[in-house]
Amino acid sequence: MAMDADHIKELIQEGIPDAQVEITDLRGDGDHYAAHIVSSSFEGLSRVQQHQKVYQALQGRMGNELHALAIQTSTPE
């Protein structure tokens, strides 16, 4: 069962309240997404720690309802 882009965005914003989230459906199949997440909470964290924070926000759905998600994280400029 695939997740839609709006649900992915909602989960990330619930888990990372200040996040600005942009979700792109890479294939138009509702199964392969890219996410660009900007949050001040990423400051001082390694790239791995930033991505772990996003995975935590997804509440275990990665690999289940959410098949593929390319993650790009950054801090506000």
pLDDT tens digits along 15-33: 999 999 999 999 887 788 9
- Decide: pTM greater than 0.95: no
pLDDT digits (tens, 9 = 90+) for 42-67: 999 999 999 999 999 999 888 777 87
Strand positions, DSSP E, the chain: 20-25, 32-38, 68-74
63: left (phi over 0), alpha (psi -120 to 50) or beta: left
38: β partners: 20, 74
Q: What is the pLDDT of residue 18?
A: 96
pLDDT digits (tens, 9 = 90+) for 61-76: 887 778 789 999 999 9
User: What is the residue-averaged pLDDT of the chain?
Assistant: 92
CATH class for the region spanning 5-74? alpha beta
